[in-house]
Amino acid sequence: MPGAEVTDALAGAAARGTRMASICTGAFALAAAGLLDGRRATTHWLYAQALARRHPRVTVVPEDLYIDEGQVLTSGGVSSGLDLCLHLIRRDHGPRLANQQARLLVAAPHRTGGQAPFIDLPVRPEPSDSPALYDWALRNLHQPLTVDQLAHQAGMSRRTLIRRFHTDTGLPPMRWLLNARLARARELLESGDLTVEAIARHCGLGTPANFRTLFKAHVGVPPRTYRETFNSAAVKGN
């Protein structure tokens, strides 16, 4: 946590009309100075929950690369700071200069997809009173699992199972299953060259069209784009 000297300096600068911007966890300093209260903000996805817990008056959006709230701007991970800087050039001086600077930096003038493709999807909760249940579910993601099947496997009532999942993961069982399937799909896209159809079948995500729709909605980019980003070997082999 920044000390009073730092937060007072930040608050004073903002009061004088200075535009404030943070990169990565710098958002914590702006929040501590009260500059993000009532505003949307982002930070590195790994620390987004901590920022939200520590500063409940801030609306934390971990998926975005950067957020422009006028006088106060925040960005995600370190590389997102470059996106934010190019955005500021674009905002103040227009797209032509921003594009010129992006070429000099060998960077994309504007990236799409946000931080969502980089965010880990927690799957196996630690600790848990029912580790065997989660292991069994992860081994059977290709099956059309239901809440009743999970409850039967765990030897619990449906209601008890739902409470267990909320306690262990903070999620309903079916949302946890979706996260687990998407996490498995990401692993397969990163490490192999299976077709979209094969990955959808292996992960229990239905048809290729359904897989693409779910992946884009929850990860932020289509499966092909994700593979091109995280699996250079597969891309070079095409």
Residues 235, 237: Cα–Cα separation, whole Å: 5
Residue 99: pLDDT band (50, 70, 90) is confident
Cβ(7)–Cβ(14) under 8 Å?
no
Residue indicated by tokens 């099956």 = 143
What average pLDDT does this structure show over 157-170? 92
Higher model confidence: residue 122 or residue 138? 138
The pLDDT mean for the chain works out to 89
The sign of the dihedral angle between the CA atoms of 198, 204, 208, 214 is: negative
What average pLDDT does this structure show over 215-236? 80
Q: Is the pLDDT confidence value at 237 over 50?
A: no
Q: Is the pLDDT confidence value at 173 over 90?
A: yes
Q: Is the pLDDT confidence value at 231 over 60?
A: yes
pLDDT of residue 123: 67
Helix axes 173-191, 158-169, angle to 10 degrees: 50
Q: Which amino acid is at 84?
A: L
**pLDDT tens-digit profile of 126-163?**
667 788 899 999 999 999 999 999 999 999 999 999 99
Q: Is the pLDDT confidence value at 234 over 60?
A: no
Residue 120: pLDDT band (50, 70, 90) is low
Nearest 5°: the CA angle 203, 46, 142 is 5
Residue 118: pLDDT band (50, 70, 90) is low
**pLDDT tens-digit profile of 37-88?**
999 999 998 899 899 999 999 999 988 889 999 999 999 988 899 999 999 9
pLDDT of residue 137: 93
Residues 9, 100: Cα–Cα separation, whole Å: 34
Contacts of residue 205, defined as CB under 8 A and 6 or more positions apart, other chains included, come to 181, 182, 185, 199, 211, 214, 215
Give per-residue burial for 104-122: e unless 16+ CB within 10 Å, then b: eeeeebeeebbbbbbbebe
The length of the chain, given as a count of residues? 238
